[in-house]
């Protein structure tokens, strides 16, 4: 079904985006020169690896590390599913 999305939110409504106006403009879109090309699957895999262990290679107290990881999981509501 074709259409234009004017409002978007996550399941818990932590993030809500709503269009408040539409303007027609001539804007040049420049290609980003930074970064490494990856597939969607590679991106998701790396994102999950980071969510599981964002402090890899750093010296940090084990209890503090676990607390930070759990906090990250609890407060990072992914829009993409």
Helix (H, G, I), strand (E, B) or coil at 20: coil
pLDDT grade for 75, boundaries at 50, 70 and 90: low
- In sequence order, the 6+-apart residues with CB closer than 8 A to the CB of 38 are 46
Residue pLDDT, tens place only, 13-70 = 888 999 999 889 999 988 878 888 899 999 989 888 877 777 777 777 778 877 877 7
Bridge partners, 18 (sequence order): 7
Counting every residue written for the chain, the total comes to 81
Q: What is the pTM of this model?
A: 0.43
Output the pLDDT for position 7.
94
């Amino acid at each position: 079904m074709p259409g234009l999305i004017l409002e978007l939110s996550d399941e818990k409504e932590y993030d809500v985006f709503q269009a408040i106006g539409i303007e027609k403009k001539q804007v040049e879109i420049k290609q980003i020169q930074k970064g490494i090309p990856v597939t969607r699957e590679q991106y998701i895999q790396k994102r999950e690896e980071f969510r599981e262990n964002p402090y890899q290679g750093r010296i940090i107290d084990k209890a503090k590390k676990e607390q930070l990881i759990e906090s990250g999981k609890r407060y990072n509501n992914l829009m993409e599913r």
